[in-house]
């Protein structure tokens, strides 16, 4: 039966995603026994809990598609003609998404620093960097990133992108970004349990 124990493609349940995403009790209460993943996100959107919906999806999606989602939202936020620093960060992040080599990941971080982490483009590049195995220097012993840090950065990136250009349009931006996030979920078969693990 769908509900908190419904298993996602990652092997985690909806309830576990709510927990790691640190959703408030009011949001978790919407996850009833007859609610599936898309339905849960839809309820959050209907109740204008857009940030909770973003946090849920950011923690539920596979890492690279989730970074793509952040990059997409950042690109939308910066408009048709981003300033050169933002454009460089967007381009560097896109290169990592297309080819997630360590050198591309670190290049995304360098461009993100220049664009500044307080911009959607910089935040997206930071998410790409934390998606790797080590946040330490390349020539040193690996330093694993904190658990779920990439998802947290992605959540912040999308929330920032929603208010970056015109805060008055935040609600519509959130809805558009969440629509895109749900499309990513479908393409990655997020809602399909691994073989042998049903609901």
Least confident window among 28-32, 77-81, 127-131: 28-32
Instruction: Determine the pLDDT at residue 197.
Output: 56
Mean pLDDT, to the nearest integer, of 62-82? 97
* β-pair partners for 7: 13
Query: How far is CA 27 from its chain centroid?
Result: 18
**Residue ranges of domains in the chain:** 1-60+170-199, 63-165
In this predicted structure, the answer to whether residue 198 has a pLDDT above a threshold of 80 is no
Write phi, then psi, for 4 (nearest 5 degrees): -55, -25
Residue pLDDT, tens place only, 145-191? 999 999 999 999 999 999 998 888 999 999 999 999 999 999 999 99
Rounded mean pLDDT of the chain?
94
* pTM, to two decimals: 0.94
Instruction: Determine the pLDDT at residue 1.
Output: 43
Mean pLDDT, to the nearest integer, of 100-122? 98
In this predicted structure, the answer to whether residue 196 has a pLDDT above a threshold of 70 is no
Angstrom distances, CA of residue 121 to CA of 4, 29, 77, 107, 135: 34, 34, 9, 13, 19
In this predicted structure, the answer to whether residue 58 has a pLDDT above a threshold of 60 is yes
Compute the distance between CA of residue 129 and CA of residue 149 in angstroms, rounded to an integer.
10
Q: Give 194's pLDDT tier (boundaries 50, 70, 90).
A: confident
Instruction: Determine the pLDDT at residue 168.
Output: 87
């Amino acid at each position: 039966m769908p509900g908190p124990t419904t298993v996602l493609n990652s092997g985690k349940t909806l309830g576990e995603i709510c927990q790691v995403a640190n959703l408030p009790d009011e949001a978790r209460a919407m996850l009833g026994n007859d609610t599936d993943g898309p339905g849960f996100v839809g309820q959050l959107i209907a109740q204008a809990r857009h940030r909770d919906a973003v946090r849920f999806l950011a923690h539920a999606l596979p890492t690279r598609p989730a970074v793509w989602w952040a990059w997409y939202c950042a690109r939308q936020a910066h408009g048709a003609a981003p300033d050169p620093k933002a454009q460089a960060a967007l381009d560097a992040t896109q290169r990592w998404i297309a080819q997630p080599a360590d050198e591309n990941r670190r290049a995304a971080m360098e461009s993100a620093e220049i664009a500044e982490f307080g911009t959607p483009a910089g935040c997206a590049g930071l998410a790409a960097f934390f998606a790797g195995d080590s946040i330490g220097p390349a020539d040193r012993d690996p330093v694993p990133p904190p658990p779920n840090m990439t998802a947290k950065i992605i959540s912040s990136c999308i929330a920032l992108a929603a208010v970056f250009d015109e805060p008055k349009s935040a609600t519509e931006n959130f809805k558009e970004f969440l629509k895109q996030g749900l499309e990513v979920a479908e393409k990655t078969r997020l809602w399909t349990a691994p073989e042998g693990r049903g609901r």
